[in-house]
Amino acid sequence: MKILAVTDKVVDSIYSPRLGERFGDIDLVLSCGDLPYSYLEFIVSTLNVPCFYVHGNHDCEEHMSCGLILQAPGGWVNLDRRTVNFRGVLIGGLEGSIRYRPGPPYQYTETEMRARIASMLPALLRNRLRYGRYLDILITHSPPFGIQDGPDRAHRGFKAFLPFMARFRPRLLLHGHQHLYGREEQRAQFLDTEIINVYPYQVIEWQNGNMTNRLRKIS
């Protein structure tokens, strides 16, 4: 299975009439947030594969030139605090960033994020009972605290993600929010979880529960 993960930046080679040629073998698309809804709708309408997303802290309604207002990306499934089984791969999501100023949606305190994780527990426990594991891939907008996050408050990661990984042992955590480019800077390991900053996009191959050609970019 080949996964296209996107986040934070509109990429010309994706927002292109040649998207189907370049990414025609993609089986699944995951978005980690902070992308225009029209961009996401272009991806799903062109590739015509299942697409799952979480909101980033800058997500907001999009006013189109035709007068339409997009409240969410059509054709995509919001995975926040949910899990799905896609071809035997268990995928879950947690939206948003740390709260760094009052008002905007999709920003949360550590206490609020812990409560959001707690609301996922029934789905995670059902996965454990049915499939023998809690989760394979977690998509988030923000990184975990101290791992690929930034020194400023707005880009600080969530401490709540560390005990999540320790308890539920996802194979992958995919996130955005922090704009990193170097291959080594975009990869980290925490216990059993490989953490990947997918900015601005990555192609990940998953075969029989193993990942190959990780962080292979298509230009």
What is the three-class DSSP state of 184? coil
For the chain, state the CA radius of gyration: 16
Question: CATH assignment of 2-216?
Answer: 3.60.21.10
**216 has pLDDT over 80:** no
Mean pLDDT of 207-219: 55
List, as one string, the DSSP characters of 65-84: TTS-EESS-TT-EE-BT-EE
**212 has pLDDT over 70:** no
Query: Of 38, 17, 34, which is closest to residue 179 (Cα–Cα)?
Result: 34
What pLDDT does residue 64 have? 81
Alpha-carbon gap, residue 37 to 72, rounded angstroms: 6
* Nearest-10 Cα torsion for 105, 3, 70, 68: 160
Alpha-carbon gap, residue 9 to 115, rounded angstroms: 29
CB 34 within 8 A of CB 57: yes
**Where are the domains positioned within the chain?**
2-216
What are the φ/ψ torsions at residue 35 (nearest 5 degrees)? -130, 145
CB 196 within 8 A of CB 172: yes
Structure tokens at 26: 């993609």
pTM of the model: 0.93
pLDDT digit string (tens) for 60-118? Answer: 887 887 878 888 999 999 999 999 999 999 999 999 999 998 888 999 999 999 999 99
pLDDT digit string (tens) for 48-59? Answer: 999 999 999 998
The residue whose two tokens read 């995509």 is 76
pLDDT digit string (tens) for 113-169? Answer: 999 999 999 999 999 999 999 999 999 999 999 999 999 999 999 999 999 999 999
Percent of residues in the chain assigned helix, strand, coil, to nearest 5? 20, 30, 50
Query: Of 73, 51, 50, which is closest to residue 60 (Cα–Cα)?
Result: 73
AA letter at 62: E
What pLDDT does residue 217 have? 46
